Amino acid sequence: MSFSPILEVSIKTISKVDDYENWKTRKIVGIRTKEYPQSWFYSVHFGWWNDTQEPFLYQWKNTLDELSGKENVWLLGDTNSPDIKSESYEEIVKSGFYDSYILSDKKDEGFTARGIIDGWRDKGISGDGMRIDQIFCDKKIPVKSSRVIFNGKYFDVVSDHFGVIVEV
């Protein structure tokens, strides 16, 4: 959904598999809108860093190929990227993207999943929560606030992943 009319849509399969029935199929969907015609907003859901069938790096390379030549790019969604040294989060940042949560002047704890959710139990992650759903941008811009939503505190819980909203 977009509050502004959509001018252009881009859909790209970034995984090796492209099968609607296979949960490892990964696509990115981008839009340009009438209100922000110079910006691209991509909904993303990347695989895990060390998945032997669908590794993050393969999907990230395909994402970067799709984004080549585009400016003012926003990546929004489940990156499956906690801030673990030498893994997905670091690779995204190393590629020139900025985490809106880090850039934000005002932010909450940032957890977008409470506890350890399915798929993460065997990854050696522990703690009260993880921040694996993010908003990245390709420019270092001022971000007024970053807040987790659909977490029971701000709106009802609708998934084991919460949402993120930023004000720029």
Q: What is the pLDDT of residue 17?
A: 97
Q: How confident is the model at residue 30 (pLDDT cuts 50, 70, 90)?
A: very high
Token output for 3: 């509050």
Q: What is the pLDDT of residue 136?
A: 97
- How do residues 85-105 score in pLDDT, each as one tens digit? 778 999 999 999 999 999 999
Mean pLDDT over 18-31 rounds to: 97
Answer for the pair 31, 11: CB distance below 8 angstroms, yes or no.
Answer: no
Count Cβ atoms within 10 A of the Cβ of residue 108 and give its class: 0-12 exposed, 13-18 middle, 19 or more buried. middle
- How do residues 117-145 score in pLDDT, each as one tens digit? 555 555 555 567 788 899 999 999 999 99
State the residue for tokens 């030498």: 86
Mean pLDDT over 102-112 rounds to: 94
Q: What is the pLDDT of residue 114?
A: 78
Inter-CA distances, 11 with 8, 41, 154, Å: 10, 12, 31
Task: Give me the amino acid identity at 12.
Answer: K
Mean pLDDT over 26-33 rounds to: 98
- How do residues 34-77 score in pLDDT, each as one tens digit? 999 999 999 999 998 889 999 999 999 999 999 999 999 999 99
Answer for the pair 33, 26: CB distance below 8 angstroms, yes or no.
Answer: no
Flag whether pLDDT at 23 surpasses 90: yes
Q: What is the pLDDT of residue 129?
A: 79
Mean pLDDT over 76-83 rounds to: 84
Q: What is the pLDDT of residue 126?
A: 53
Structural domains for the chain: 6-167 (3.60.10.10)
Per DSSP, the residues of the chain read: --SS-EEEEEEEE-SS---TT-TT--EEEEEEESSSTT-EEEEEE---TT-SSS-HHHHHHHHHHHHTT--SEEEEEE----S-TTSHHHHHHHTT-EEHHHHEEEE----SEES--TT-TTTT--SSEE--EEEEESS---EEEEEEESSSSSS---SSS-EEEEE-
Q: What is the pLDDT of residue 86?
A: 76
